[in-house]
Amino acid sequence: MTAEKPLTKDIPADGQALDLTGYERTGGYRGLRKALGNMTPQQVQEEVKNSGLRGRGGAGFPTGVKWSFTPMGTDAPRPKYVIANADEMEPGTFKDRYLMEGNPHQLVDGLILAGYANQADVAYIFIRGEYKVSQERLARAIAEAYSAGYLGKNILNSGYGLEMYLHVSAGRYMCGEETGLLNALEGKRANPRAKPPYPQVSGLWGKPTIVNNVETLANLPHIVEHGAAWFQGLSRTKDSGTKLYGASGKVKRPGLWELPMGTPLREIFEEYAGGMRDGLRFRGVLPGGASTDFLVEQHLDVPMDFTEVAKVGSRLGTGTMIVLDDHTCPVGMTANLIHFFAQESCGWCTPCWSGLNWADHILRAMEDGQGKPGDLEKLEFQTKFWGTGHTFCALAPGAAEPLQSALKYFREDFERHIREERCSFRK
């Protein structure tokens, strides 16, 4: 039996978007009809909790558990908000764009379901400014959903109502951070907020707010329609569902594939991405975007799910791998990553703005042949300083991951840069 691909099987191969008729023909909004007709919000929450769905934005937090903190009932503060985090800016990640461009209604559908489950009044899709095609297609999908009665007051005569707006960001990596996103939506700089209170209790304009990633939301129509047990059965490991996996770098076939959760890294890299281009050898991989630890040859058989990748010292992250080959400089690659994080730091927490900039300078100097003895120890000290608990958000802890693992697995490259006062990969 070929594996099921609920999220991507209906996406047209010609690059066009599935319109409302096409989406309905493939079962679209059927889960919503079922939920509004036969299920209480609590039952939808329960189904999602039982499905084991974990957040696909990178953190892997169980979606049903996240929702369980939303104040429910008539005493709950109003309005309540649900937000689709479509601010895909994790370097190396291009999965949400594919979902939004190919099947925008699937996201709208999922967001309405999240709204119903949490009894939200207003929904925003927070999308990055550069995703023009996604914006046009989502705007059309929202308009179509309104005219078909899936949005607005009294959806499908159920008594439940939801307004949905597309919010186009002005761009900054920090907007993808849950509380940074809330500040951006409120018209402020996208600095993170202290937690607690968590957004479920006090989020957008101080009201209960749920923020979920695009791929997470896209799963909801299928979970509600087919049930938690079906979703559990899609995967190859304990973490449930399918996952959009991707590969970039000098592999034969860079791309994106929906596969059972827990598909081994080696299988994705060799069979789907086709392995390295001719004449190149594999050296390492960031398994799930820029803010995950490098893995190397010995880790290739790890099943790509949240639990198993953590066991070998990295994270599934966004599931889109960036591959390092033996003709690309690991120091240069690390310098590029740290420069990104330093530039995108919002400046709120000292270990982040100060430490990342310091590391950025050290690494650039090293690439330019100005590395000094003691630099590696300074960098190692910094990665510990950026760890969880020292900052308000996950930007600096995320930046520490590629750096600390590069220092571990590619140490001889760093030492050689300092010793030879040059980058030997540059002609």
Grouping H, G, I as helix, E, B as strand and the rest as coil, residue 267 is: helix
Nearest to 330 by CA among 255, 417, 270: 417
Cα dist. 18→104, 186, 198, 302 in Å?
Answer: 7, 32, 36, 35
The answer to whether residue 78 forms part of the interface with other proteins (CB under 8 A) is no
Total H helices, total E strands in the chain = 17, 8
Q: What minimum distance in Å lies between the beta carbon of 356 and other proteins? A: 14
Q: Binding of other proteins at residue 274 (CB under 8 A)?
A: no
Minimum distance from residue 33 beta carbon to other proteins (Å) = 27
Task: Please give the helix or strand (H or E) that residue 115 lies within, else none.
Answer: helix 104-118
Taking the least distance from each CB to other proteins, the nearer of 174 and 265 is 174
Surface-to-core class of residue 312, CB atoms within 10 Å of its CB (0-12 exposed, 13-18 middle, 19+ buried): middle
Other CB atoms within 10 Å distance of the CB of residue 34: 15
Q: What minimum distance in Å lies between the beta carbon of 283 and other proteins?
A: 11
- Backbone φ and ψ of 140, nearest 5°: -65, -40
Site string for other proteins, 254-273 (x = CB under 8 A): xxx-----------------
Q: Considering only residues 90-109, where is the footprint of other proteins by CB under 8 A?
A: 90-94, 96-97
Distance CA 127, CA 125 (A): 6
* Stretch of residues binding other proteins (CB under 8 A), selected from 17-25, 31-39, 127-135, 211-219: 127-135
Q: According to the binding rule CB under 8 A, does residue 184 interact with other proteins?
A: yes
Site for other proteins in 193-232 (CB under 8 A): 205
Binding residue for other proteins (CB under 8 A) from 58, 303, 332, 351? Answer: 332
Binding to other proteins (CB under 8 A) within 344-373 occurs at 344, 346
Stretch that binds other proteins, among 218-226, 292-300, 322-330, 390-398 (CB under 8 A): 322-330
Say whether residue 188 binds other proteins (CB under 8 A): yes
Regarding 392 and contact with other proteins (CB under 8 A), the answer is no
Amino acid at position 149, single letter: G
119 conformational bin, left if phi > 0, alpha if psi -120 to 50, beta if neither: left
Is the CB of 207 or the CB of 226 nearer to other proteins? 207
**Integer Rg of the chain from CA:** 22
At 292 the three-state DSSP class reads coil
| 189 counts as binding other proteins under rule CB under 8 A | yes
Closer to other proteins at the Cβ: 82 or 333?
333
Minimum Å distance from CB 139 to other proteins?
13
N-terminal to C-terminal alpha carbon distance within the chain: 50
- Would you count residue 186 as binding other proteins (CB under 8 A)? yes
d(CA 188, CA 160): 31
- The Cα 290–Cα 286 span in angstroms is 7
251 φ, ψ to 5°? Answer: -90, 165
CA 418 – CA 328 distance, rounded (Å): 17
Nearest approach in angstroms of CB 223 to other proteins is 25
Q: Applying CB under 8 A, which of residues 120, 337, 352, 362 lies at the interface with other proteins?
A: 337
How far apart, in whole angstroms, are the C-alpha atoms of residue 255 and residue 245? Answer: 8
Is 132 a residue that touches other proteins (CB under 8 A)?
yes
Quote the CA–CA distance of 103 and 277 in Å, as a whole number.
Answer: 31
In the block, tokens 């599934």 appear at: 316
Q: Which stretch binds other proteins (CB under 8 A): 2-10, 42-50, 126-134, 296-304?
A: 126-134
Scanning residues 231 to 250, which ones bind other proteins (CB under 8 A)?
Answer: 246-250
Among the listed ranges 28-36, 52-60, 112-120, 319-327, the one in contact with other proteins (CB under 8 A) is 319-327
Interacting stretch for other proteins, rule CB under 8 A, among 70-78, 264-272, 339-347, 406-414? 339-347
Stretch that binds other proteins, among 186-194, 219-227, 262-270, 384-392 (CB under 8 A): 186-194
Using CB under 8 A as the criterion, which residues of the chain lie in contact with other proteins when the complex forms?
Answer: 88-94, 96-97, 128-133, 165, 167-173, 184-190, 205, 246-250, 254-256, 286, 290, 320, 322, 324-325, 328, 332-333, 336-337, 340, 343-344, 346
